[in-house]
Structure 1
Amino acid sequence: MHWAEKEREWKGPFYFIQGADPQFGLMKAWATGDCDNGGDEWEQEIRLAEQAVQAINKLNPKPKFFVLCGDLVHAMPGRPWRKEQTEDLQRVLRTVDSDIPLVLVSGNHDVGNVPTPETIAEFQRTWGDDYFSFWVGGVLFLVLNSQFLYDASRCPALKQEHDHWLDQQLRTAGQRACRHAVVFQHIPLFLQSIGEDDDYFNLTKSVRKEMADKFVEAGRPGLREGAGEGRDWSGEEAPRSFSRQRERGRALDRTGFSPSSATGGSVTLACEPQLPRLSSRTAEAALAGWLLTLQ
């Protein structure tokens, strides 16, 4: 993806759409209680994803981009149905308006709970880079591979490269004194508080403290996450909720993120006035979304 040099300059407020966990195959697997091997049907996810894309395409003015924060399909690397789920999601995403760039973030279902060089290479062949940065409207956006932060025991060299790159990017954010820096990742640093116990849906205490310290030192960028629950913190201030999003494809909270530097609203693709109302409450889940305006 390429943004012109002019995108490094702040020119006024804009917004983007965030979604997470389209996870084709999850609903059937969850319903049958076989999340490891189930997921041989995903018609419902296709329908909901199509409705989500249709809603996004009707937005006026158009969002600067549409980001999906991981778990693009349900089948883990090497599992049955992965190829078919991937092809169907790619077909749906090809219908996103060509004027709305698509940003894809890797999740554990995309590269594995414990990624390997092979699973990372597969993601890169299928979806593109697993971590990268870009500028839009004077804002620096960082896309992380949070599985490296979860368990990189089978790909330590790749994690080292990722960490070195992130340190460089955060230095850039500080040196350029960019108006905002926003981080996208799949696994939340924490769900309720930065000192909470370790859990499947968060990063370990030591990792989350290390990452939080890095972000704060670099200038307190906003953090946007996929599975679990997004959080915003500003140094010593108490954390404030973004929108809670989990792997069943729906937003579990309403609007949450509204610091002085940004305003936002949970769209869930159904509750904003400029979005067409979808057919059912379940349809609100179709790529649980966020509208975030940066000012």
Structure 2
Amino acid sequence: MAEEVFQKARNRTLSVFCEDAEKEWKAPFYFIQGADPQFGLMKAYSIGNCDSGGDEWDQELKLTQQAVQAINRLNPKPKFFVICGDLVHGMPGTPWREAQTRDLKNVLKGLSCDIPAVFVSGNHDLGNAPTPETINDYCQQWGDDYFAFWAGGVLFLVLNSQLYFDHSKCPEQKQAQDVWLSEQLAIAEKKACKHVVMFQHIPLFLKSPDEDHDYFNLEKSIRQELLDKFCKAGIKKVFSGHYHRNAGGAYKDLEMVVSSAIGCQLGEDTHGVRVVVVTAEKIVHRYYSLEKLSNEGIEKDLMDLIKQN
């Protein structure tokens, strides 16, 4: 039954948002960005073997449940809840992956029906070197691996960043996304919307656009090409996960926002999500611990962010 709960992205769009109705700017709104629930990583990390699939995920299940319950209580409701990849820890074809996926869906189906879920593919969802088969499996489970949708007068683009990390086993899929992305950026460049926002799993960079390439960012030449394309199209915000720590930086007018995990933390941050407020002039954001989101509420913060911007 959990399979039927989510209105998945199909045909490169998210039909839960009607483009004709959502293209027009009406008023400020906000959404919630999370990343890396990654059921199974906390156990794998605790035993020093992150390459394992993780045979326990009770902690991640409870944390994601806490996030869902806290988001449901927010008033006013967020426009949507986007999860920027690594939904589960088990790589394609590994033990526990099916059970992790089932349990995550069962938790997420508790999300209020008027808060759409938006899914972004990560490396653990597709494999570090994805194949046509692993991409197809993800699309069956969670919806298209890249797509666009309009919400509140804003154009949102969702990328499969794994195709920019290693597309050696799926060159045709990489080429298809490149063509699609060029079409979407051409729309963005015409300035037919208040803002254009990008979601992806792997950050373009963590702190500086000229930093060295490693596991947690994209290779320099690819990074620079994307940065220049995004800036030319007027994209001001790119939201990602993958790092399991909060980070980010700027390139020209573009801000790279890296959000820590709902699940396993690899630094000093708390389990949490990011609240993103969209006004006519700006997009502002703040990371909240699940504890604060659950127990203290953020309604006053939301109103302050909207009024100040």
Give the TM bin, normalised by the shorter chain. 0.7 to 0.9
**Match for 2:122: what amino acid?**
G
RMSD between aligned alpha carbons?
Answer: 2.6
Looking at structure 2, the residues matched to 16 and 270 of structure 1 have their Cα atoms a distance apart, in angstroms, of 18
Report the alpha carbon displacement of residue 230 of structure 1 after superposing the two structures with TM: 5.2
Task: List 4+ stretches of structure 1 deviating above 6 A.
Answer: 253-260, 292-295
Report the alpha carbon displacement of residue 74 of structure 1 after superposing the two structures with TM: 0.2
Alignment of 1:269 onto 2:286: no
Percent identity, please.
53
Looking at structure 2, the residues matched to 140 and 241 of structure 1 have their Cα atoms a distance apart, in angstroms, of 17
* Partner residue in 1 for 2:11: none
Q: Describe how 1:32-111 pairs up with structure 2 within 5 A.
A: 32-111=47-126
| Deviations 1:135-168, CA, capped at 9 Å, x for gaps | 0000000000000000001000000000110110
Looking at structure 1, the residues matched to 153 and 97 of structure 2 have their Cα atoms a distance apart, in angstroms, of 37
* Partner residue in 1 for 2:269: 252
Structure 1 segments unaligned to the other structure (5+ residues): 279-291
* Cα pair distance change 1:8/1:223, threshold 3 Å: same
Looking at structure 2, the residues matched to 262 and 102 of structure 1 have their Cα atoms a distance apart, in angstroms, of 20
When the two structures are superposed, what TM-score results if normalisation uses the length of structure 1? Answer: 0.87
When the two structures are superposed, what TM-score results if normalisation uses the length of structure 2? Answer: 0.83
* Partner residue in 1 for 2:242: 227
Structure 2 segments unaligned to the other structure (5+ residues): 1-13, 298-304
3-state SS of the aligned residue for 1:162?
helix
CA contact (8 A) 2:207 2:249 kept: no
* Partner residue in 2 for 1:214: 229
**Match for 1:207: what amino acid?**
I
| Deviations 1:177-220, CA, capped at 9 Å, x for gaps | 31110000000011110001111100000011000000000013
Report the alpha carbon displacement of residue 276 of structure 1 after superposing the two structures with TM: 2.4
| Deviations 1:231-259, CA, capped at 9 Å, x for gaps | 35352x6x767454257248838989899
Comparing 105-114 with 225-234, greater Cα deviation is found at 225-234
Alignment of 1:189 onto 2:210: no
Q: Count residues in correspondence.
A: 278
* Cα pair distance change 1:105/1:43, threshold 3 Å: same
3-state SS of the aligned residue for 1:270?
helix
CA contact (8 A) 2:237 2:255 kept: no
